[in-house]
Amino acid sequence: MEAFFVSTGIVAIAEIGDKTQLLSLLLAARFKKPWPVIAAIFVATVLNHGLAGALGAWLAQLMGEQILRWVLGLSFLAMAAWIMVPDKLDDDEPTFRKLGVFGTTLILFFLAEIGDKTQIATIALAAKFDSLTAVVMGTTVGMMLANAPVVLLGERLARKLPGKQIHTIAALIFVVLGLAVLFGWGGN
């Protein structure tokens, strides 16, 4: 359960103000059909984080315990720094009229998540924890906790969130995780 709850919390916090959250807002405003957008975000996240988690689990098997500890610890510290850089969504808005709301959202969200903070966090979490399923479920729930309200409540919610403070809290969590991994606090 630890893998699930840690993964959920990290991704939910890290996603706030992220480019995929901004994309969620854009898609909700553009299509004005929240349920197909939310469903597509869910499917895209499961697919993307499933692949990222599998990569993380494979890397954990490939590396020795000491190398993995350093890679994970430094990765979490790098995530802490990276999360403090706010994401901006490009002004270019590709349209995929033939794919509809669900297909457009699925493709755009999946592609936007490639190389994103939350995908990298999923790789690191899957390498840290033994339960790939719990990590992918947790990161997916975290993604939905951050994005579904944005889709449902739209721009009103986005204006009220204190982005800088949330990014600072998320960065501190990654620092604590990085130090915990490097210094062996809390076991596996």
In a domain, 94, yes or no: yes
In a domain, 112, yes or no: yes
In a domain, 120, yes or no: yes
In a domain, 87, yes or no: yes
In a domain, 60, yes or no: yes
* Pair of tokens at residue 146: 């951050």
The total of structural domains in the chain comes to 1
The reported pLDDT for the residue numbered 102 is 93
Residue 57 domain boundaries? 2-183
Give the Cβ contact number of residue 7 at 10 Å.
Answer: 29
Helix (H, G, I), strand (E, B) or coil at 34: helix
In a domain, 54, yes or no: yes
The reported pLDDT for the residue numbered 188 is 47
What is the pTM (predicted TM-score) of this model?
0.70
The reported pLDDT for the residue numbered 32 is 79
In a domain, 188, yes or no: no
* Pair of tokens at residue 68: 């993995």
The reported pLDDT for the residue numbered 93 is 47
Q: Are 41 and 109 in contact (CB under 8 A)?
A: yes
In a domain, 145, yes or no: yes
**pLDDT tens string 104-135:** 889 888 888 887 888 888 998 998 898 999 99
Name the stretches of the chain with pLDDT < 70. Answer: 76, 79, 82-83, 85-97, 154-167, 169-170, 173-174, 177, 186-188
The reported pLDDT for the residue numbered 187 is 52
The reported pLDDT for the residue numbered 91 is 44
DSSP state of 99: G
